[in-house]
Structure 1
């Protein structure tokens, strides 16, 4: 369930900053038709931090409805409050999601013991599969391999989205954990090397606009067609980098709009639109890749 190309989906909004259900439905159909293995809804790329608690749940429920069980939905349910995560997951327990993606608590800067207790408490309050999410550049704390190993012993903690960009983490985690534990890249630009080292897939930002290519890329690695995967990676590497010229999801949301998949690139403050300077840079790359 947690392998291959999984998209970290944007949340389309109307001009007033409310969810655009029509665009969300269009995006989900796009990923169903493009071979994307699963959708992460309400993650970092989905602007979960600027939506209200009720909106967060609504977006997940709409995604489940629009998916029509044709593509698995993974819900972002991570907060810097353990109790908030538990409350949200309890609401989603029988909703139809296949699992939860829980980010390390941001701003609090918990110790490794605090991180262990946080994820353990969440897992103990649900039967849903739990995926850990480690992205120190955004949270201010780093979930270390030894703590991941301890957490992997909890039966419904099934994997980790590792977004440090540190490729040495793959072997460190694999050497500690011998059971079935999914290692998922959270960094497009190092995903090729990550998967060659034994990673199972990627939760991808870039897949928002090149879903079919990212799906083929992951399938080629699984099929040991490394040269074909390498060719796609070489083609997309400039895009992987440019989509982080400004804080995610600012560039990707503009690019999705530029491809005509959503009506506008409206974001909520404190997130602001992509600058005209960077629009031109990404526009040129989209043209070179024949995406527009």
Structure 2
């Protein structure tokens, strides 16, 4: 499999090196397992001949204009974690030059993939319009506002859609690399995961910090504060809207646009976050259920397992 990693000045160092290390490990383990030749031919390329990472390291790369069509082209994250800085980075000349080539390459049969903030570059090139995709959860509100034509589900770790693949936040680069190894051979992917201690993570949901997302919009920030004050009392859309001096439809629309979910769903996210905190403090489940507005512990137990993929025992074990 011919893989090209397209990196830009200011690339997130860990994202780039995780991709390189995972494919190198796969090649090494493949040789130990009797493969006749390395399954991955990986090249690091850039718009210019020299690349400077976000941490100031420099390396020579092959020029993008000199390579032939790969099987997969991967775009790692640029280290621009704030919406304003990311918007500026997306307008850089080197970035625009590269984006212009992504669509034609995909049209010729190349797979295009990205992780974390790299997914913004795929969206900027129009490759995600009408598709399901994921991105780094921390910038999901900005992504939704900038690319309304993309069907974003930021709870998922990896989303594949017609040879366009997106992966989630920061260490999602690792999940993306392992997904590509799995396309070559599932057995090799399992071996790589065991040697590199990679856990299977189908979802980003348990890593999301709800109040960070809420701060993307003043109305949502106010709704978040109201919700935290009323976790034990239960949810009322009318009460929340009245407290914020807006119509219920306004709160509903804004929450959907910024967070990609209903006001009730966000309220439940805050309940789960608080319940996790109380579990870590050692409270019994009946007490926790009352604190977050559930009539009984069984309802909360089922919700935690459905949303987080783990029960109370697993949560307590992780905190030991």
TM over 0.5: no
> What's the TM-score once normalised by structure 1's chain length?
0.32
Structure (1 or 2) with the larger CA radius of gyration? 2
Give 1 or 2: higher helix fraction.
2
> What's the TM-score once normalised by structure 2's chain length?
0.29
